[in-house]
Chain A
Amino acid sequence: AQSVTQLGSHVSVSEGALVLLRCNYSSSVPPYLFWYVQYPNQGLQLLLKYTSAATLVKGINGFEAEFKKSETSFHLTKPSAHMSDAAEYFCAVMRADKLIFGTGTRLQVFP
């Protein structure tokens, strides 16, 4: 069965530092993978998605993710964190036309 695992429920970085949020998937076939962000008291906003067209996927707000089949990973990165990036981030895989979410990673950004 397809699922995703997010390592680290909390990540703290300084403003301007690299952001790295980890996601590993388990799938026997090439998956459709997504990263969503949730700001307090809001719904989920799509950051980016992988649909096998390219292994390096660029998303909104300067985020990108690289699909690595050999490592079954789809980690989310941003070169320089901004205070406004503080939020909860969810990795998800589509399975049987429904999203299966990871447990989320809360990103804190310190000035």
Chain B
Amino acid sequence: KAGVTQTPRYLIKTRGQQVTLSCSPISGHRSVSWYQQTPGQGLQFLFEYFSETQRNKGNFPGRFSGRQFSNSRSEMNVSTLELGDSALYLCASSPQGRNQETQYFGPGTRLLVL
């Protein structure tokens, strides 16, 4: 099976702009989770989608949003970008998104906000 794919791999934006990142899960996986990785805060959970519904949300401002399509592909959007949004954004998929399941990660999208 193909792994989790994320596009684009690298992105440069300026403050105030918005950005959309895409994630395609492993075939058959219905849960997609997003994480932000920064040197200062480490790996932090953003949100999780299952069957096109946001089922879980981390402690991030409303500028961070996401959605999931019927084929389980997911997008996350960040509006009004700030310098502090520069990070590696990782998405992970699992069959049902339950505790005992393994989350498989994509290669990430590295976002630089100037």
Residues of chain A whose beta carbon lies under 8 Å from any beta carbon of chain B: 32, 34, 36, 41-46, 49, 51, 90, 92, 94, 96-104
A97 lies within 8 A of B56 (CB): yes
- Of B61-69, B78-86, B92-100, the one with at least 4 CB within 8 A of chain A: B92-100
Q: Which residues on A sit within 8 Å (CB–CB) of B43?
A: 90, 92, 99, 101, 104
Residues of chain B whose beta carbon lies under 8 Å from any beta carbon of chain A: 4, 6, 33, 35, 42-45, 48, 55-56, 58, 90, 92, 97-100, 102-108, 110
The listed residue (B33, B99, B102, B105) touching A43 by CB distance below 8 A is B105
Q: Which residues on A sit within 8 Å (CB–CB) of B4?
A: 43
Q: In whole angstroms, how far apart are the Cα atoms of A69 and B99 in the complex?
A: 19
Q: In whole angstroms, how far apart are the Cα atoms of A7 and B58 in the complex?
A: 25
Count of CB-CB pairs between chains A and B under 8 Å: 52
Q: Which residues on A sit within 8 Å (CB–CB) of B45?
A: 98-100
Q: In whole angstroms, how far apart are the Cα atoms of A96 and B108 in the complex?
A: 23
Main secondary structure of the interface of B (DSSP, over half): strand
Once A32-B99, A43-B108, A51-B100 are accepted as A-B contacts, the answer to whether A98 and B42 lie under 8 Å apart by CB is no
B98 lies within 8 A of A43 (CB): no
Once A43-B108, A103-B42 are accepted as A-B contacts, the answer to whether A97 and B99 lie under 8 Å apart by CB is yes
B58 lies within 8 A of A44 (CB): no
